[in-house]
Amino acid sequence: MVATYVSTLLLSAGALVSAAPARVEDRAASCTFKDVASIDKSCTDIVLDSISVPAGQTLDLTKLKDNTKVTFKGTTSFGYKEWKGPLISVSGTKITVTGASGHVIDGNGAKWWDGKGSNGGKTKPKFFYAHSLKQSTISNLNVKNTPVQGFSINTVTDLVVDHITIDNSAGDVTNGGHNTDAFDVGSSTGVTISNANIKNQDDCLAINSGKDIHFIGGTCSGGHGLSIGSVGGRSDNTVDGVVIENSSISNSDNGVRIKTVSGATGAVNNVTYKDITLSNIAKYGVIIQQDYENGSPTGKPTNGVPITKLTLDGVKGSVTSKAAPVQILCGSGSCSDWTWKGVSVTGGEKSSKCQNVPSVASC
């Protein structure tokens, strides 16, 4: 392959200037690529400058060399095709993915948006696979208009996701954007998502399985809230050790949400929601349900996915007049060892559907 990257040798003042040409292996060399075909993964400091990804192709950043840094620069855009994606995929160990000042990664979602999300209509590409990353950081990315789900974080260990902005608010205009989850987390250990700023039309966060997951300092608007679940019916059905704190949820269907799948088995243990602010919530301020089925909850909670050691500490704010501040549907004996303090959600109408509510909680 003809290398079309531009190598840059960064020399500190007073350094000896060597006559040897810069090689991609040099730690100080960065390589700038302007099209997908030229990307050379042997470089460990990759700059993606204003890349237009051809329709139906993944911007493939998998199996990067250890310690590779990837920087998005300018506008990254994607051609239109009906396919499952992902538009971007990254894997490796000690990887850093970041964005240069002024960059935008534009998922060009409006080409796919038909109001049906992943439930029908056009086949839409998922946006970003952060799969099989180890000891890595994704930070300072400015994303807009994902066709459907945003970041899929799966089978990672020790990943920091900091200062990610996703603006899918254009998808509200025609009700076109749907199932645009910001972060879906599964089968991962040690994930911290901090300072996210999300405008979307589905979960701001959805944790299906995993251990030691933190979501801190997030701002979520327009979507379905900060969710655990749905849990059950997948290959991995255990959520253990989650802290969601110092975050706000506004203009959304739900605030705090835990949904376990009707009739399924699994476990949700040691989950804490702390210092969460709700405003203008349209359906439920806090919803904990063990009767979940995509589209239509059964109303009959089952007890195969117990929710234990759940703490809500400082969940405050308001819901709209037609919403319920709190709704809890637990199976028989499957919600236990809960702590509730400083839970104050005002507005709306009290739910009449609560079942098997632990005594510390009120519904």
Ligand X SMILES: *[C@@H]1O[C@H](CO)[C@@H](O)[C@H](O)[C@H]1NC(C)=O
Between 90 and 249, CB nearer to ligand X: 249
Instruction: Verify binding: residue 243, ligand X, rule CB under 6 A.
Output: yes
Instruction: Verify binding: residue 263, ligand X, rule CB under 6 A.
Output: no
Q: Which residue has the tokens 């929601």?
A: 273
- What distance in Å separates the CA atoms of residue 108 and residue 13, rounded to the nearest whole number? 43
Question: Which residues form the catalytic set?
Answer: 224
Instruction: Verify binding: residue 246, ligand X, rule CB under 6 A.
Output: yes
- What distance in Å separates the CA atoms of residue 188 and residue 245, rounded to the nearest whole number? 19
Among residues 114, 212, 236, 337, which is the contact residue for ligand X, using CB under 6 A? 212
> CA 112, 215, 87 angle in degrees (round to 5)?
25
Q: Which stretch binds ligand X (CB under 6 A): 43-51, 105-113, 240-248, 285-293?
A: 240-248
Instruction: Verify binding: residue 192, ligand X, rule CB under 6 A.
Output: no
Q: Which stretch binds ligand X (CB under 6 A): 201-209, 211-219, 224-232, 330-338?
A: 211-219
Site for ligand X in 87-126 (CB under 6 A): none
Between 70 and 307, CB nearer to ligand X: 307
Residue 144's nearest CA partner among 174, 179, 168, 178 is 168
Strands (E), 188-305: 189-194, 197-199, 205-207, 210-216, 219-221, 226-231, 238-250, 254-261, 267-281, 284-292
Q: Which stretch binds ligand X (CB under 6 A): 30-38, 96-104, 238-246, 284-292?
A: 238-246
Which residue minimizes CB distance to ligand X?
Answer: 241
Instruction: Verify binding: residue 356, ligand X, rule CB under 6 A.
Output: no
Instruction: Verify binding: residue 217, ligand X, rule CB under 6 A.
Output: yes
Among residues 74, 115, 241, 314, which is the contact residue for ligand X, using CB under 6 A? 241
Among residues 67, 93, 219, 298, which is the contact residue for ligand X, using CB under 6 A? 219
> Considering the complex, what minimum distance in angstroms separates the CB of residue 70 from ligand X?
26
Q: Which stretch binds ligand X (CB under 6 A): 45-53, 92-100, 212-220, 293-301?
A: 212-220
Q: Give the count of residues interacting with ligand X (CB under 6 A).
A: 8
Whether the link from the prior residue into 230 is cis, omega within 30° of 0, is yes
Residue environment code for 230-264, b if the CB has 16+ CB neighbours within 10 A, otherwise e: bbbbeeebbbbbbbbbebbbbbbbbbbbbbbbbeb
> Considering the complex, what minimum distance in angstroms separates the CB of residue 123 from ligand X?
35
Q: Contact 198/218 with Cβ under 8 angstroms?
A: yes
Site for ligand X in 21-60 (CB under 6 A): none
Instruction: Verify binding: residue 190, ligand X, rule CB under 6 A.
Output: no
Between 87 and 258, CB nearer to ligand X: 258
Residues in contact with ligand X by the rule CB under 6 A? 195, 212, 217, 219, 241, 243, 246, 270
